[in-house]
Amino acid sequence: MPRIAYVNGRYLPHDDAVVHVEDRGYQFADGVYEVIGVRHGRLIDEEPHLDRLDRSLGELKLAAPLNRAAIRHVTREMLRRNLLRDGIIYLQVSRGVAPRDQQFPADPTASIVMTARRKKVDAAKMRTGVRVISLPDIRWGRPDIKSVSLLPNVLGKQQAVEAGAYEAWQVDRDGLITEGTSSNAWIVTPDGRLLTHRADRAILNGITRRTLLRIAAELDLEFAEDAFSLDQAKAAREAFLTSSSSFVLPVIQIDGITVGDGNPGPFTRRLQEWYERYIQSIQPVREYAGRVGPD
Ligand code: PMP
């Protein structure tokens, strides 16, 4: 089945889906994006993702090229045309094509592209956990904006991969962990408190993070949006990371130090289980009606 991408109003074969060389997303990383998880034919937290997109666009003083109803429509069309049941929808908006000058063009026409990618949950990693390394957080002052300017993240992730790890946890000047290069970071302290960095300008306020905080509250778990240090993480009882494509993934080693007993702990497993239940409670998109089993 051919893969289809959406580029500025057109559905194209993935291989032919291109933007102009003077697109400001390409030239200046002058754009923002979203990644929406798709599981069992369900779009996970679509509305919060679109709210966050609006916020990112607002921070860049960029007008959305499509209204929300149109974005929802294209998203569904992408699911249908790609027969995507498990994977991600990637959506990017840039300030469009203009002669290369840093200041905003006088009359910009934003570009919008969308791709769909099949991706199954890595059940082995979910069960056994992953390793992370730590790195200095060298990003700009606004990682709360989901901008496509991801060079420090790219370099950090590459360093993690070369070290045989899944992710790099970034550490600020005070020795506190902000977040991963493409995920939020969490620990369970020795006295059983769930911690993750507060949603300020130092991190991207993950949609999975927000859903999990809501689940933690519903489960009556003790939690706080408080930063924790690298030392605290290494001495934690449990650790895990969250993102729209990794869901809730146990972390069993940090910089070669084993977390807890080296196995995903009960807290993490319970949150994984409840997150999965939450996904199952979402209505499958209509395009899948009749094709999605009870799961
Ligand atoms: N932090 C960063 C830097 C990210 O790139 C991501 C993934 N987009 C996250 C956190 C997790 O966010 P979400 O749960 O919305 O995918």
Residue ranges of the chain whose pLDDT lies below 70:
1, 287-295
- Residue 2: the pLDDT is 81
Distance, C-alpha 14 to centroid of its chain = 22
Return the sign of the alpha-carbon dihedral for residues 218, 223, 227, 230: negative
Let me know if 146 is a catalytic residue.
Answer: yes
- Residue 49: the pLDDT is 98
- Residue 143: the pLDDT is 98
- Residue 109: the pLDDT is 94
Domain with CATH 3.20.10.10 in the chain: 123-280
CA atoms within 13 A on the CB side of 171: 17
Domain with CATH 3.30.470.10 in the chain: 4-118
pLDDT tens digits, 177-229:
999 999 999 999 999 999 999 999 999 999 999 999 999 999 999 999 999 99
Query: What is the pTM (predicted TM-score) of this model?
Result: 0.96
- Ligand 1 mutation target, pool 243, 248, 278, most atoms within 8 A of CB: 243
- Residue 286: the pLDDT is 79
Please list, in sequence order, all residues whose beta carbon lies within 8 angstroms of the beta carbon of residue 59, skipping any fewer than 6 positions away. Answer: 142, 145
- Ligand 1 mutation target, pool 204, 211, 215, most atoms within 8 A of CB: 204
Short-list 271, 142, 122, 130, CA closest to 211: 271
Residues in the chain: 295
Q: Which atom of ligand 1 is nearest to the CA of 210?
A: 14
Distance CA 277, CA 68 (A): 27
- Residue 275: the pLDDT is 98
CA distances (Å), origin 137, targets 159, 178, 195, 217, 259: 13, 8, 19, 29, 22
43 Cα to the center of ligand 1, angstroms: 16
Q: What is the SS3 assignment for 254?
A: strand
CATH of domain 123-280: 3.20.10.10
107 Cα to the center of ligand 1, angstroms: 31
User: Sheet of 111-118: strands edge to edge?
Assistant: 10-13, 4-7, 111-118, 87-94, 31-39, 42-43
Q: Which residue of the set 119, 125, 146, 234 is catalytic?
A: 146
Are 228 and 172 in contact, with CB atoms under 8 Å apart? no
Are 160 and 168 in contact, with CB atoms under 8 Å apart? yes
Domain 4-118 grouped into CATH 3.30.470.10: yes
Ligand 1-lining residues (CB < 6 angstroms): 35, 179, 182-184, 204, 206-209, 242-244
Q: Where does residue 141 rank: exposed (0-12), middle (13-18), buried (19+ CB within 10 A)?
A: exposed
Q: How many CB atoms lie within 10 A of CB 59?
A: 14
204 Cα to the center of ligand 1, angstroms: 6
Q: What is the SS3 assignment for 212?
A: helix
Distance CA 123, CA 272 (A): 12
